[in-house]
Amino acid sequence: MDSPEKFIKAVQQGVATVEFRKINTDELRIMPCTLNSEVAGTPIAIKSFDPLSDNIAVWCLDKAAWRSFRVSTVEKWYEGYPEGYEL
C-alpha cells in the first residue's frame, strides 16, 4: 500500500474497498470497510493513526465487525464498494 494516510482519509469520509492476502491462507480478501460512524451504523471513535504501523483496523461492512489487515499484504484499494456488492 503506497499511501496508508490516503486510505485512512478515504475510510473516514466514507467507504473504501481493500484487497489483501490473508496471512495464514494467502487467500485474497476483498473487504469493503469504513471508519465513518454514519456509514457503519455504529459509533466509531478513532483516537489516532500511526502511519508507521503495518496494521490498520477498520469497520468491515460485510461482517459488521472490526477487522484488521497488514499494510504489507495489500494488493490494492479503492474508494467505494466492490463491484456487485449489495447493501
Classify residue 64: in a domain, yes or no.
Answer: yes
DSSP code for 82: P
Which residues 6+ apart lie within 8 Å of 24 measured at CB? none
Distance separating alpha carbons of residues 62 and 34, to the nearest angstrom: 11
In a domain, 75, yes or no: yes
| pTM (two decimals) | 0.91
Summary mean pLDDT of the chain: 92
**Structural domain tally of the chain?**
1
What is the domain range of residue 74? 4-79
The Cα–Cα gap between 40 and 15 comes to 9
Residue 50 falls within a domain, yes or no? yes
| Cβ atoms 61, 82 nearer than 8 A | no
Inside any domain, residue 87: no
The answer to whether residue 85 sits within a structural domain is no
CA-only gyration radius of the chain, Å = 12
Residues in the chain with pLDDT values less than 50: none
Q: For the chain, what's the residue count?
A: 87
Q: What is the pLDDT of residues 11-23, one digit of tens each?
A: 999 999 999 999 9
Would 35 be classed as within a structural domain? yes
Say if CB 63 and CB 48 are below 8 A apart. no
Q: Is residue 84 part of a domain?
A: no
Instruction: Please check whether residue 61 lies inside any domain of the structure.
Output: yes
